[in-house]
Amino acid sequence: MTIPLSYYLVLSGIVFLTGVVGVLLRRNIIIILLSIELMLNATNINFVAFSQYFHDIAGQVFVFFILTVAAAEVAVGLAIIIALYRAKSTINIDELQLLKW
């Protein structure tokens, strides 16, 4: 028995909406970065699901590129967070005004 494509799309939509809600409602930079990662993973689910549905490997190749970019994003994002925390002693977005040092 195979799982229908619509199940993957619903799962992807739920994960993506969770990421959007996290970006819009949270004020912690780390939580916002994790929410962006959730949105990227939702697109990965879509790519793999459609790749399986159409019997084409191209979607899975895109997933590897997205994971590579996401790993670089995490490295750069954490470096920025550490620099901000050292300068301002907070990672709350509301307390960081215009990123003035």
pLDDT digits (tens, 9 = 90+) for 36-67: 999 999 999 999 999 999 999 999 999 999 99
Residue-number span of the structural domain to which 33 is assigned: 5-95
- The type of residue at 47 is F
Span 6-41, pLDDT tens digits: 999 999 999 999 999 999 998 888 899 899 999 999
Residue 89 covered by a domain = yes
Q: Which residue has the tokens 């003035």?
A: 100
Residue 12 covered by a domain = yes
Residue 23 covered by a domain = yes
Q: What is the CATH number of the domain that holds 82?
A: 1.10.287.3510
Nearest to 81 by CA among 42, 9, 28: 28
Confirm if 96 and 86 have CB atoms less than 8 A apart.
no
Which letter does DSSP use for residue 95 in this model?
A: G
Q: How many domains does the chain have?
A: 1
- State the CB neighbour count (10 A cutoff) for residue 36: 18
Residue 101 covered by a domain = no
Token pair belonging to 44: 């990965």
H helices present in 3-99, as ranges: 5-25, 29-54, 58-88
Q: Of the given ranges (1-10, 43-52, 72-81), which has the lowest mean pLDDT?
A: 72-81
Coil/strand/helix, residue 1? coil
- Say yes or no to pLDDT of 70 above 60: yes
Residue 100 covered by a domain = no
Residue 52 covered by a domain = yes
